[in-house]
Structure 1
Amino acid sequence: MPNEESNKPSNPDKNTGKFPYHQGELAAQDKAGTRGAASELAAGKRSALNFLANHDAFLAAQSFAAMTSVDLNTGNVWLTPLFAKAGDLSAVTENEIVISSQSIPDNDMLNTVESGTPFSLLGIDLNRRIRHRINGVALGFEESSFEENNGRGLHLQVNEYTPNCPKYINRREIILDANNVESINRRAKREERTSLTKEDQDFIQAMDTLWIGSYAPDIGADCNHRGGKPGFIRVTSPTTIEWPEYRGNGMFFTSGNLEVNDRAGVTVVDFETGSMIQMTGRALVDWDHDGRYEGASRAIVFHIERIVRTDNVTSHRWRRLDYSPYNPAILGKDSANSDSAIDDPSINGNERPIKATLVKIVEETETVKTFRFVVSHRIAFLPGQYASFEFNNIPGGAASEVRTWTLSETPNSLNGDNTLDISVKRVPNGLVTNWLHDHAELGLEVVLKGIQGEMTAITLDADTQTPLVPEQLLLLSAGIGITPNLAMVRGIGAFSLQDKTKVTMIHVERYQRHLLSHHELVRRSNNYPDFSYTNIITSEQGRLTKVQLEALVPNPKDQQAYVCGPASFMEQMTEYLASIGVPVANIHTEAFDF
């Protein structure tokens, strides 16, 4: 339901004085439990493009984009695909974009756009999985010198730029018409109606991508992308479709707008035939859906009021290269095509195994890499817990090797996540760790054996299931032992627990260059007054002494201490902590001895 309060947020960013999120977005973040994570991502929002980051070149190179516009007379929201040729999307300054009218297939949009019309442009590179979201208002149609045939250009004023995550983009490459014909077929067959025909329904349910536009009055429009495997969009009646909302960045631009205004536009494009169906109507977020979608904790239900179907609207064609590895399984489809126990969606809790696929590798330091795996079904875990993975046929090893690492990324862990990150340090004679560093490639499949562990300061209230954290928290680590403590710090931020605890984090590392996530931790300490971060570099300062520890730890008798690192480090730190007054019962350690 729309929020009756003002759409403008109440708390400006302390550094810029601007409002990063409006009330609808904040309400959606609160429902999903992502306000903390979203507040950290707000730093990526800009009020203009950045030519030094090649935003202008990116736009000019795109053959496809999507644009949301609002008919201010009716309130209808439309999502219009743009089928472009090189240069049809032009950033003339960091605050102004011009779109060639020759790339716009929708006559309705051409007729309703006027100066001041809210817009949102999503420039997307389908091959490289890159998308940029640009919001602002239309300045109107004007003659544009860069166009041929004296075409008109739609001038747009840029008010906000945000990079969007590449997850769920199904990768495609364009096949340009060999005869270099115009990208838009102005004689294309166009039909209008108020409900979906059987052919329309089949068209929609075969798609693996949709585009949704939304609008918050007095704030602006938004254009967004949703992807999945074919079948993720369901037609529930001739006037209703729905789809799952998979885990994203937690900022909730679309759902936030729908909290204050249910008007929306949805478009699906058949990239193989160049046909499209555009719909305008009303949408609502089903926050408590019945679990009918794997990998999603909510769904969007869209009620159609008007449909425009245009067949063969563009000469462009795209070839699908692969599906996003993040796409969850489609229940009733993917599971039906598999006879493997590791794909069984009935497996849950500690009943494993589950197949995990490597989708991303990040080199953190010269000795540590982070490996991101996806599983087909959401799994809930607490920050600081660890996962056990089984590797088969590693050269020099047994037929099966099981290794355990802390899950280092936690924004959606309490609600269940299908992405699992582990940060792995290269170690001398480490069979699996060194093989991962040297030979692991995207697409690698391993078996997730289980997730468990007691090395976590974040618990759930037995009655309300809300996250709890100690009032005084000491996180003490050495080397790669930082990972559970880092996961807890990220969890505290993601679950908005910063004002409920005072965190003292101390990390010991041999060399400065080996510090993991150092800039992130410095930023967190600067942003949150109750978070203290100290690192000790032993090659320069020597080992952490009891005297130093005592000076760094406030109120030792009230601390809940979590210590992780080499066995000798944990043993010595436990003795130090007990001697300075931390109750032994409050000192928690964990070693992977299996």
Structure 2
Amino acid sequence: MTTTRSGFHAGERAVQARAGLRERADHVGRSIGAVIPPVAARFLTERHTLVVGAADRHGDLWATLLGGRPGFLRAVGDTGLAVAARPVPGDPLAEALAEPARVGTIALDPAGRRRMRLNGRSEPDGRGGLLIDAEQVFSNCPRHIHRRTPHPVAPRAAAAATGSRLTLRQQLALATADTFFLASADPAGDVDASHRGGAPGFVTVLGPDRLRWTEYPGNAMYMTLGNLELRPSAGLLLPDWETGGALLLTGRARVDWADPAAPAVDYRVTRVVELPHATALTWTEDDAPPNGR
């Protein structure tokens, strides 16, 4: 994908200009690196989960959740991330990540309300895990992260449920969610995974195949909306904090810019996969929802 001198591609620059935040984006964009600094390496080693976004063999984008005990993520040199986990059977990215793939990832610390993103190229490590070569590494602010504490549970095998529309139970889960993750990509296939959070109800369910939520400036780089400007495919991940399950969606997103300060995303669901046990972890919420959006 062709980028400007700033390092942002044309879709990101167009969205930043539409929001009136190009100068701020240029400033924040200087924090994006291609190496994993020591403080980030320590952060990764302490994590229990990694969100991974990638495209399946049909080109549809998905985001999924990998988990393990602290140490399942490990920095290798300055640019490598070893992941001692792969998607569970039935995960739509199980096949994609069994081969070299472009990925976007988020390492999340719900207990400490911290997160970092690492995007690059993934390949199987030959030992049941992944090795990711980083091309973009950067941290995000703690806004909208709900504080939670992990609790390991015994892993259990269970069949994935699939469909093309959301069931009533799945719609209720989305309507009461305080967190989800979104995978997007530019036309060249470079993938990014991002976090969305707010008070329960920040996602509006308009039907069994349609969702809507409001976007806010955040770090002003607009990497997700910049990708959607050029490629509307997007994958949505809703973790089930109480069971270790996950709801995975793929679909198409359209951004409504009627209010440039708070554009709204309309999301059309095309496929649904529910994983009863995506990770061997459950989480308990430790505090009230964070303020603001």
TM-score, normalised by the number of residues in structure 2: 0.93
- Residue identity matched to 2:75: A
TM-fit CA distance, 1:116: 4.2
TM-fit CA distance, 1:102: 5.4
TM-fit CA distance, 1:216: 0.5
**Correspondence for 1:108:** 92
**Aligned residues of 1:81 and 1:104 also touching (Cα < 8 A):** no
**Correspondence for 1:250:** 220
For the pair 1:278 / 2:278, whether they are aligned, the reply is: no
TM-fit CA distance, 1:274: 2.0
**Correspondence for 1:119:** 103
Pair 106,47 (structure 1): closer, same or farther in 2 beyond 3 Å: farther
> Superposed, which structure 2 residues align to 1:122-137 within 5 Å?
122-137=106-121
The runs of at least 4 consecutive aligned structure 1 residues that moved more than 4 Å come to 102-106
**Correspondence for 2:168:** 198
For the pair 1:155 / 2:155, whether they are aligned, the reply is: no
- Residue identity matched to 1:58: F
Q: Deviation per CA, 1:437-488: give whole Å up to 9, x if none.
A: xxxxxxxxxxxxxxxxxxxxxxxxxxxxxxxxxxxxxxxxxxxxxxxxxxxx
- 1:86 corresponds, among 70, 91, 106, to 70
TM-score, normalised by the number of residues in structure 1: 0.47
- 2:3 corresponds, among 4, 9, 31, to 9
**Correspondence for 2:15:** 28
Pair 44,324 (structure 1): closer, same or farther in 2 beyond 3 Å: farther
Residue ranges of structure 2 left out of the alignment (5+ in a row):
none
Over the residues paired in the alignment, what is the CA RMSD in angstroms?
Answer: 2.0
**Correspondence for 2:200:** 230
TM-fit CA distance, 1:93: 1.8
**Correspondence for 1:62:** 47
- Residue identity matched to 1:100: A
Pair 268,122 (structure 1): closer, same or farther in 2 beyond 3 Å: same
Bigger fraction of residues in helix:
1
User: Max radius of gyration: which structure?
Assistant: 1
TM-fit CA distance, 1:275: 2.2
Aligned equivalents of 1:244, 1:221: Cα separation in 2: 22
Residue ranges of structure 1 left out of the alignment (5+ in a row):
1-6, 14-19, 145-151, 329-594
**Aligned residues of 1:229 and 1:323 also touching (Cα < 8 A):** no
For the pair 1:302 / 2:267, whether they are aligned, the reply is: yes
Pair 22,324 (structure 1): closer, same or farther in 2 beyond 3 Å: farther
**Aligned residues of 1:80 and 1:106 also touching (Cα < 8 A):** no
> Superposed, which structure 2 residues align to 1:185-224 within 5 Å?
185=156, 187-218=157-188, 220-224=190-194
**Aligned residues of 2:110 and 2:149 also touching (Cα < 8 A):** yes
TM-fit CA distance, 1:246: 2.7
Aligned equivalents of 1:170, 1:283: Cα separation in 2: 25
- Residue identity matched to 1:155: L
* SS in structure 1 at match of 2:142: coil
The percent identity for this pair of structures is: 29
Aligned equivalents of 1:171, 1:105: Cα separation in 2: 29
TM-fit CA distance, 1:204: 1.2
- 1:315 corresponds, among 256, 269, 280, to 280
* SS in structure 2 at match of 1:122: strand
* SS in structure 1 at match of 2:94: helix
For the pair 1:143 / 2:126, whether they are aligned, the reply is: yes
Aligned equivalents of 1:282, 1:207: Cα separation in 2: 20
Aligned equivalents of 1:233, 1:120: Cα separation in 2: 23
Aligned equivalents of 2:149, 2:257: Cα separation in 1: 35
Aligned equivalents of 1:157, 1:270: Cα separation in 2: 29
* SS in structure 2 at match of 1:118: strand
**Aligned residues of 1:69 and 1:221 also touching (Cα < 8 A):** yes
Q: Deviation per CA, 1:51-77: give whole Å up to 9, x if none.
A: 2x2x22211211122110112x31110
Bigger RCO (CA 8 Å, 6+ sep): 2
Aligned equivalents of 2:229, 2:187: Cα separation in 1: 11
Aligned equivalents of 1:105, 1:123: Cα separation in 2: 22
Q: Deviation per CA, 1:326-363: give whole Å up to 9, x if none.
A: 335xxxxxxxxxxxxxxxxxxxxxxxxxxxxxxxxxxx
For the pair 1:98 / 2:82, whether they are aligned, the reply is: yes
* SS in structure 1 at match of 2:262: strand
Aligned equivalents of 2:102, 2:63: Cα separation in 1: 12
**Aligned residues of 2:117 and 2:193 also touching (Cα < 8 A):** yes
TM-fit CA distance, 1:143: 2.8
- 2:149 corresponds, among 165, 173, 183, to 173
* SS in structure 1 at match of 2:92: helix
Pair 301,240 (structure 1): closer, same or farther in 2 beyond 3 Å: same
Aligned equivalents of 1:116, 1:43: Cα separation in 2: 28
Aligned equivalents of 1:136, 1:243: Cα separation in 2: 27
**Correspondence for 2:31:** 44
TM-fit CA distance, 1:103: 6.7
**Aligned residues of 1:278 and 1:308 also touching (Cα < 8 A):** yes
Aligned equivalents of 1:174, 1:97: Cα separation in 2: 22
